[in-house]
Amino acid sequence: MADHDGGPRVNLPLTIPDLPPSIPDLAGQVLTVTGPVDPSALGPTLMHEHLFVDLRRPAHALRPGEDSPQAREPLTLANLARTRHGAVNADNDVLADFDEMLAEVGEFRRAGGGTVVEVTSLGIGRDPGSLRRMSRASGLHIVMGAGWYTPTFHPPDLGERTVDDLTAVIVRDIVDGADGTGVRAGIIGEVGAESAPLTPGELKSVRAAGRASRVTGAPITFHVGGVGEEKFTVLDILDEEGVDPSNVVLGHAGTMAVDLPFARRVLARGVFIEFDFLASPGSPWGHLVLLGDHKVARGIADLVEDGYSGQILLGHDVCQKIQLKRYGGQGYSYIPDHFLPALRRLGVADEAVHKIMVDNPARALTFTTPAP
C-alpha cells in the first residue's frame, strides 16, 4: 500500500539502519531532562512552552525588513509597542538568558506548577544542557522535544534524507541524548505541519516522527498538525506507522473552540487537542492570536460538557520576549492565575480542571511499549 509521501508502508517489526543497538523500554514512564519519572510525579503541567528558543529566520527565508537596522535593535521600551504590533525585532525572537528565564518560569512554580513541556525542536535553538540546569534550579520537571519544526527551519538537505534517516536522528535523541549532552528528549516535537497543502518535507517529517514514536514509545506533539482536513492526513500517516493515538497531541487548536463539530471529528480519533497561544496578543510576529481567550474558554467548557475533558491540554506557547512578564506579557502563570478561574466561572468543575492540568498531561507524556 502506498503512503501519502509515496513511500512503502511500514511493516513491523521495524528494521531501520543506524539505530542504537538497543531501545530501552520506558513504557509507563515519562522521560524528563533529568531522567525517567513516574507520571504521578508531574503535577500541573504546561504542555507547550519554550524556555530557550531562537526563531530568527535563516538567510534564505528572511521576513520583509528582517535585515534592516531597526530589526536589529535590542528590545526596549522604545520599540516594545512597535514590536507588539508586528514589527520585526530579532532580539524579540530569542529566549536565551538563563537567569531571566529562571525568574519567568519560577512564576509557574509559584502558582503550583510541576512540569513544563519544552517543545523547542531541532533548528530553532534547542538547548539540552540549559534545560537540565533549569530543571534542577527551578524544581520543575522539564520534558524536552525532538524532531523538526516548520519548513522554514528544516535543514537544507532534508529533501535528500530518507524517512529512516530522520527517524534515526529522533530515536538517538530519545535513547542516547541530544548534542552529546546525554540529555534525552521525552517527546517528539513540536513537529511542524502547517502548510496547506502539506509539503513533501512536512510529510516526511511527520512520518519520521510516527516511526520514531513506534520504535521508542515516545509521545508526539504537533505544531498545528495540518490545517483543516489535512489533520486527517497527518493522523492517517501516524495510524499507518502504528502510533497509538493516545500518544498524539495536536497543538494550536484554538480555532476548534469555535468549530465544535470539527473538534468532535478530530477527538473521535482518540488524540489530544491542545489549546495554547493563550494570553499572547501580538505574538509571535503579530498574527497568531486568531480569537479571544474567552471564546477559547467557552469552547473548552462546551467540549467538557460534551464529555471530552479527558482529551484537552493547555499551554501558553511562550516563544518571544514580549510574552515574558519582564516585557509586560503574562508569562508562564497566566493559565493557573487567570485562565483556569475563567473556566471555573463558565461551569467547568474542579474535577475536569484537574484532568486538563494533571491527569491528561500525565497520560499524554507516558511512553508506550516500543516496537519489537
- 140-169 pLDDT, tens digit per residue, is 999 999 999 999 999 999 999 999 999 999
Q: State pLDDT tens for residues 259-294.
A: 999 999 999 999 999 999 887 654 444 344 456 788
Residues 356-369 have a mean pLDDT of 98
Nearest alpha carbon to residue 98 among 129, 75, 67? 129
Task: Consult the annotation and say whether 4 binds a ligand.
Answer: no
Task: For residue 48, say whether it is annotated as part of any ligand binding site.
Answer: yes
Contact by Cβ (8 Å): 144, 185: yes
* pLDDT tens per residue across span 224-264: 999 999 999 999 999 999 999 999 999 999 999 999 999 99
Q: Which residue shows C-alpha cell 493522523?
A: 235
Residues in a beta bridge with 45: 115
252 is in an annotated binding site: yes
For residues 288-305, give the mean pLDDT: 84
Instruction: Measure the CA–CA gap between 313 and 246, rounded to whole angstroms.
Output: 12
> Is 50 among the annotated ligand-binding positions?
yes
Q: Where are the chain's structural domains? A: 34-56+65-365
Mean pLDDT of the chain: 92
Residue 86, pLDDT score: 84
CATH code that applies to domain 34-56+65-365: 3.20.20.140
Asked if residue 60 belongs to a known ligand binding site, the reply is: no
294 is in an annotated binding site: no
Higher-confidence position of 60 and 371: 371
- pLDDT for position 67: 85
Return the SS3 of 236. Answer: helix
Please provide the DSSP assignment of 185-222 as one string: PSSEEEEE---SSPPHHHHHHHHHHHHHHHHH---EEE
Considering only 37-51, 52-66, 84-98, which range has the smallest mean pLDDT? 52-66
Q: For the segment 202-229, what is each residue's pLDDT rounded down to a tens digit?
A: 999 999 999 999 999 999 999 999 999 9
As a whole number, mean pLDDT of residues 49-61 equals 92
Assign 65 a pLDDT band (cuts: 50, 70, 90): confident
Residue 59's pLDDT is: 79
Express the helix, strand and coil content of the chain in percent, nearest 5 each: 40, 15, 45
Q: What is the pLDDT of residue 283?
A: 40
Q: Which residues contact 300 (CB under 8 A, 6 or more apart)?
A: 257, 275, 312, 343, 348, 356
